[in-house]
Amino acid sequence: MIDLLFGPFLEFGFMRRALVGCLALSLSAPPVGVFLMLRRMSLMSDAMSHAILPGAAVGFLVAGLSLPAMTLGGLVAGLAVALMAGLVTRSTVIKEDASLAAFYLISLAGGVLLVSLRGSQIDLLHILFGSVLALDDPALWLLGGIATVTLFGLAAIYRPLVMECVDPLFLRTVSRAGGPVHYAFLGLVVMNLVGGFQALGTLLAVGLMLLPAITARFWAADLSGMIPVSILIAMLSSVVGLSVSYQADLPTGPAIVLAAGGFYLVSMLIGRRGGLVRRLVRARHLEA
C-alpha cells in the first residue's frame, strides 16, 4: 500500500517535482478558499479562474509556451477583471456577482479566441487542463513563491479580513482598511489561481482551492481549525491524486481534483460537524 502510494515519487524525478508543486499549492490555496467560502464567493473564484485565460493567451501569443509570460499575463488579466468588476459594482446598480460574470465571460471568450488564432488544439488543451507532470524549475519557484507570499499576506490582513467578512459596516466605522483589504484578498485569489493554472489548468485551478476548504467545514468549528484541516486535505488529495494518476495512467489534474472531491463526499457523509450520518443517527440531547 505504502509502496503503491509513494513508489512513483521515489522512482521518478518528474513525479517528485509534481508532488512538490502540488504541496506548495496545497499550502497556499486552501486557506484562501476557506475565506472565499465563508464570504460566499465560492463560485466567484471559479469565474475569476476563467478570467485569467486571455492574459495567459496573450503571453502565449507573444512568447510561446513560456511560463513567465503566461503567468504575468494571467496575473494582469485576473487583477484587471477583479478591479473592473469592483469598480462597476461601486459605481452602478449592478451587483458584484453579475458584473464579475459579465467580465469573466468577455475575458474567457477573448482568451479562447486568442489561443485558437495561433495555437494548436494541443496548446489549448495544455492551457485548459494544465501540465503538472511537466513542472520545470521556474514553475516550482513560482509555486513556492506564491505559497510564501500568500501565507505572509494572509497573516498580515487576517484580522481586518475576518472583520470585513463578519461585520463590514463595523470595520468601515473604525478604519479605512476595508477597501484595501478586500482588494489585497482578491489579489491573493488571483495569484493562487495563476499558480493553480500552471498545475491544474484554468478549468480546474479552483479545485485545490475550494474543495478542501468546503470539506474542512465538516471537520472544524472555527477558522483556527478549518485552515489547517483544509491544508491537510489538499495535501492528501495531491498525494493520492498523483499516485492514482500514475498507477492507472489517468490525466493528473483531474485525478487530483477528483481525489479532493472524494474526500469531500466522504466528509459530507461522516463529517463530525453536520455530516449526513451524524444528522440521521442523533445522539440524545443534553440536559442544558
Partner 1 sequence: MSCDLPGAITLHGLTLGYDRHPAVHHLDGVIPPGALLALVGPNGAGKSTLLKGIVGEIPCLEGRIARPGLDEAIAYLPQAAEIDRSFPLSVLDLVAMGLWRRLGPWRSARRHRATLLDALAAVGLAGFETRLIGTLSGGQFQRALFARLIVQEARVLLLDEPFTGVDGRTTADLLALVRAWHGQGRTIVAALHDLGQVRSHFPHTLLLARESVAWGPTERVLTPQNLARAQSLSEAWDEDAAVCGRHEAPGPSHGHGHDHDHDHDHSHDHGHDHGQGHDHGADRRPAHPRDHGHGVARDRGHAA
At its nearest, how many Å lie between partner 1 and the CB of residue 241?
Answer: 28
- Tell me, by CB under 8 A, how many residues bind partner 1: 23
Helices (H), the chain: 2-11, 13-38, 42-51, 53-63, 67-91, 96-118, 121-129, 137-166, 168-174, 178-200, 207-216, 223-247, 252-270, 276-280
Q: Of residues 221, 269, 270, 276, which one binds partner 1 by CB under 8 A?
A: 221
Stretch that binds partner 1, among 71-79, 106-114, 220-228, 276-284 (CB under 8 A): 220-228
Three-state SS for 118-155 is HCCHHHHHHHHHCCHHHCCHHHHHHHHHHHHHHHHHHH
At its nearest, how many Å lie between partner 1 and the CB of residue 235?
Answer: 22
At its nearest, how many Å lie between partner 1 and the CB of residue 277?
Answer: 22
CA distance readout (Å), 263 to 18, 97, 271: 20, 28, 10
Q: Of residues 2, 10, 122, 169, which one binds partner 1 by CB under 8 A?
A: 169
At its nearest, how many Å lie between partner 1 and the CB of residue 159?
Answer: 5
Q: Which 3 state secondary structure label does DSSP give 272? A: coil
> Is there binding between residue 278 and partner 1 (CB under 8 A)?
no
At its nearest, how many Å lie between partner 1 and the CB of residue 74?
Answer: 29
Site residues for partner 1, window 3-42 (CB under 8 A)?
A: 38
Site residues for partner 1, window 146-165 (CB under 8 A)?
A: 156-160, 162-163, 165
Residue 274 φ/ψ region, left for φ over 0, alpha for ψ in the -120 to 50 degree band, beta for the rest:
left
At its nearest, how many Å lie between partner 1 and the CB of residue 267?
Answer: 16
Contacts (Cβ under 8 Å, ≥6 apart) of 161: 35, 154, 181, 185
CA distance readout (Å), 262 to 45, 79, 225, 235: 21, 32, 21, 13
Rounded Cα–Cα distance for residues 229 and 239 (Å)? 16
For partner 1, the closer of residues 102 and 177 by Cβ is 177
Q: Of residues 116, 175, 266, 269, which one binds partner 1 by CB under 8 A?
A: 175
For partner 1, the closer of residues 25 and 181 by Cβ is 181
> Is there binding between residue 222 and partner 1 (CB under 8 A)?
yes
Q: Which residues of the chain form contacts with partner 1 (CB under 8 A)?
A: 38, 156-160, 162-163, 165-167, 169-175, 177, 221-223, 226
